[in-house]
Amino acid sequence: MSDRSPPERSPLETLSFFPPHDGTLWAFLESRQGPDPDRPFLIFNDVATSWRQFQGAVEQTVRMLRGRGVERGDRVAAMAANCADYVVLFFALARIGAILVPVNPDFGAGEAGYILAHAGVSGVVCAPASLPVVRRAAADEGLAVWFLVFGAAVDDVPGFSEVPDNAPPRAAPAAGTADDICLIMYTSGTTGFPKGVTHSQGNFVMAGEAFVERMHLQTQDRLLCILPLFHINGLFYSLGGAVAAGATLILAPRFSASGFWPLVSRSRATEVNIIAAIGTILARRPREEFVPGHGLVKVYGAPVTAEIAEVFIRDFGVHHVIEGYGMTEIPGACNLPFDGERRIGSMGVAARHPDPAVRFSELRVADDEGRDLPPGQVGELLVRTPIVMKGYYRDPDQTRAAFRDGWFLTGDLVRRDADGYHYFVARRKDIIRRRGENISGAELDRVVGAHPDVAQAAAIGVASDLGEEDILVAVVLKDGSRLTARDLQKWCATSLSSVKCPRYVAFLDALPQTPTFRVAKFKLKQDPDLRARAVDLTLLDEEG
C-alpha cells in the first residue's frame, strides 16, 4: 500500500495549495516550487531531479536554444523515446514562446519528413539512433535545419546540454503567453496525411489541472509515465497532472511488460496511465512477475475492459481504476467519476475541473443534422471544452470542418444512458486504433495499393485479442500476379512503422463499392468470415 502520511486534499485544495500563476508553462512550473523546492519532481532511470534543479536545467536550455537562434513562434521537433531532457526541452521552448513538434521515433524518413516539412521546423533534437533517419528526412524534403542529439555528442552533432559560445549569459525573461501555441502534435486523419493539432500553453495547464480532478492527485503522489511523450496522454495527463499537483513524475523510457511491476515497486509509484493493449498484456502475464506490497493505488486507462478492471482490482490490489475518453484535439473530454459510480464499459460522464466555477467539458449526442438524441439512441459525440485544440496547423479547411457551431465533431458514435454515462459504439472516421495509435486507413490503402501487383487495397480495423484493433488489409491483385502475403509483409515493412504494418492480409476477387464507386469498408467490417479467410502474418513470422 501507499506510504503517504499527509491527509488527502480535495482536488481544489491541491491546486489552491500553490500560488496563482498566469497560465504559461514557466509560471506553472515556478508556482509549484512550494515550501520544499528540493523535493523530487522528475525521476528517470532512477536519477531524481528536484524542482529547483529542473528549473535550472530549463534556464540553461533556454540559453542553448537562444544561441541556436530559436525565437518566439519557431518550431523545433523532438524524435526520441521518453527521457528527462525531452521534458526540459518542452518547458524551455515554451518559455521562449516557441513550439514543440513531437515525432514518433519509430517513424521512417518518409513519415518523419512529412511532419518536419509541414511544421516548418528550424531544428530537430533526436535520439542518437534516430539521427540517420532525421538527416535523410530533412535531405529528402530539402530542409535546412540544425540537429542536436539527446545525451552526448555524436560525430559532428552536438549533445543536448552543450551550450554554444554565442549563447546569452543568462536566460532571457519568459516570452510565452498562455494563448501562445506550445505544441503541434500530428495525428492521422481520414485523408491519409497526418494533421497537426495545435495546443496553447493555457490548454496544457488546464488539462493538467483537470487530471488532478480526474484522479484526485495529491502533492505526495508519484505518477509513473510508461506512455510516450509524443502522445497526448503521456504529455498532458502524466506530465501535466504531475506539475499541476506539485507531485513527482517517474518517467520510463518505454513500457516493459516483464519489468512493469518491479518498476512500480522500486519507484514507489502511486498512479499510472495505460491503454487497453497494456492493460490486457499485464492482465495475462505470468503472475510470478507481479510484486506484492507495491504502492500503486490508481490507474487511468482508455479504454478499460471488464477483464482489465477485474484483474487490477482483484489480483493486483489497485482500488481505483478509472476509464476516460479524449482525443488529441480534445484531451480528457469525459471519464468515470473518481468519487462516484464507476460503470465498467462506460467512457464516463462529462469531465470536470477542480474549480466548480470553471465551465469545463460539455457533451452532446447528435444525429447527422446536429439534432440532440434522447438517451439510448446512437449518434455522434460532440464536445465543447475550453481545452479544445486551437486548430489544425496550416489547414483552415479541416479546422472548419471539425466544428459545428462551436462544438467539436469527434466522428465517434456513442450512446448515452439516462444518468449521463456514455458508451462507445463505433468510429465514423476511417481510423484504426492500434496500441494507442490512431492509424489512417487511407494511408495504408495508398501504401499497399502502390505495390505494382496490387489493383486495389482497403485497410480496416478488426477486433484484437489485446483490446483495441488489429489491421486487416483486403487486397485485389492484378491479373496474372503471384504476389504472396509474405511479399506484402516485406513491402509494408519498408514503408511503414511497425505499428502500422497489417497483421492480416485477405486476397479477394473484388472489393465492395458504394453507389459512388468508393470502397465500402463498412461492408468489409460486416463480413463475419473475412478474418478467418485472411492470412495471419504473425503465424508466418513464427514459421520463419
Sequence-separated (6 or more) residues with CB below 8 Å from residue 528: none
C-beta of residue 221 within 8 angstroms of C-beta of residue 270: yes
> Measured on CA atoms in the order 306, 208, 226, 297, is the torsion positive or negative?
negative
Over 60: is that where the pLDDT of 373 sits? yes
Give the lowest-confidence range in 281-285, 438-442, 536-540. Answer: 438-442
Query: What's the CA dihedral at 398, 403, 405, 410 to 10 degrees?
Result: 160
**DSSP 8-class letter at 210:** H
Position 430 scores a pLDDT of 81
Dihedrals φ, ψ of 238, to 5°? -70, -55
Angstrom distance (rounded) from CA 124 to CA 145: 7
Residue carrying the nine cell digits 505518477: 223
Position 513 scores a pLDDT of 80
Band of the pLDDT at 379, cuts 50, 70, 90?
Answer: very high
- Give the chain's radius of gyration (CA, Å): 23
> Measured on CA atoms in the order 123, 435, 290, 539, is the torsion positive or negative?
negative
Angstrom distance (rounded) from CA 56 to CA 110: 37
Over 70: is that where the pLDDT of 538 sits? yes
**pLDDT tens column, 390-424:** 999 999 999 999 999 999 999 998 999 999 999 99
Position 276 scores a pLDDT of 87
Taking residue 35's Cβ as centre, other Cβ atoms within 10 Å add up to 6
Position 425 scores a pLDDT of 82
Residue carrying the nine cell digits 466544428: 403
Position 436 scores a pLDDT of 86
Position 192 scores a pLDDT of 60
Per-residue b/e over 165-199, b at no fewer than 16 CB within 10 Å?
Answer: eebeeebeebbbebebbbbbbbbbbbeebbbbbbb
Band of the pLDDT at 149, cuts 50, 70, 90?
Answer: very high
Query: What's the CA dihedral at 293, 297, 300, 305 to 10 degrees?
Result: 70
Position 516 scores a pLDDT of 52
Position 189 scores a pLDDT of 52
Give the lowest-confidence range in 48-62, 185-199, 350-364. Answer: 185-199
Considering only CA atoms, which of 91, 85, 79, 68 is closest in space to residue 115?
79
What are the distances in angstroms from CA 430 to CA 8, 402, 439? 44, 15, 9
* Higher-confidence position of 210 and 515: 210
Domains of the chain, earliest start first? 24-322 (3.40.50.12780), 327-427 (2.30.38.10), 431-543 (3.30.300.30)
Sequence-separated (6 or more) residues with CB below 8 Å from residue 330: 383, 385, 387, 388, 389, 408, 410
Position 157 scores a pLDDT of 96
Longest Cα–Cα distance in the chain = 75
Per-residue pLDDT averaged across 513-538, rounded?
A: 85
Taking residue 524's Cβ as centre, other Cβ atoms within 10 Å add up to 19
Sequence-separated (6 or more) residues with CB below 8 Å from residue 480: none
Over 80: is that where the pLDDT of 105 sits? yes
Dihedrals φ, ψ of 471, to 5°? -100, 130
**pLDDT tens column, 5-57:** 578 999 999 999 999 999 999 999 999 998 899 999 999 999 999 999 999 99
406 burial (CB, 10 Å; 0-12 / 13-18 / 19+) is exposed
Residue 365 is inside which H or E element, if any?
A: strand 362-366
Copy the grid coordinates of residue 85: 531532457
C-beta of residue 425 within 8 angstroms of C-beta of residue 413: yes
Over 70: is that where the pLDDT of 543 sits? no
Residue 309 is inside which H or E element, if any?
A: helix 306-310
Over 50: is that where the pLDDT of 3 sits? no
Q: Where are the beta strands (DSSP E) in 385-527?
A: 391-392, 403-404, 407-416, 422-427, 431-434, 437-440, 454-463, 469-477, 504-507
Q: Concatenated DSSP letters for 152-202?
A: S-BTTBPBTTPPPTTS-SSPPPP---TTSEEEEEEE--TTSS-EEEEEEHH
Give the HSE-up count for residue 466: Cα atoms under 13 Å, Cβ half-sphere. 15
**CA 451 to chain CA centroid, nearest Å:** 31
C-beta of residue 235 within 8 angstroms of C-beta of residue 229: yes
Helices then strands (H, E): number in the chain?
Answer: 18, 27
Angstrom distance (rounded) from CA 182 to CA 76: 10
Sequence-separated (6 or more) residues with CB below 8 Å from residue 13: none
pTM for this predicted structure: 0.87
Position 468 scores a pLDDT of 87
Position 544 scores a pLDDT of 58
Per-residue pLDDT averaged across 154-173, rounded?
A: 88
Position 34 scores a pLDDT of 86
Give the lowest-confidence range in 149-158, 337-346, 434-443. Answer: 434-443
**pLDDT tens column, 470-501:** 999 999 999 999 999 999 999 999 989 999 99
What are the distances in angstroms from CA 150 to CA 159, 246, 444? 6, 26, 32
Over 80: is that where the pLDDT of 512 sits? yes
Band of the pLDDT at 1, cuts 50, 70, 90?
Answer: very low
Over 50: is that where the pLDDT of 2 sits? no
Position 191 scores a pLDDT of 52
Position 514 scores a pLDDT of 63
Q: Which CB contacts under 8 angstroms, 24+ apart, belong to 507-515?
A: 507/475, 507/476, 507/477, 507/535, 508/474, 508/475, 508/476, 509/476, 510/476, 511/456, 511/458, 511/474, 511/476
C-beta of residue 530 within 8 angstroms of C-beta of residue 511: no
C-beta of residue 493 within 8 angstroms of C-beta of residue 515: no
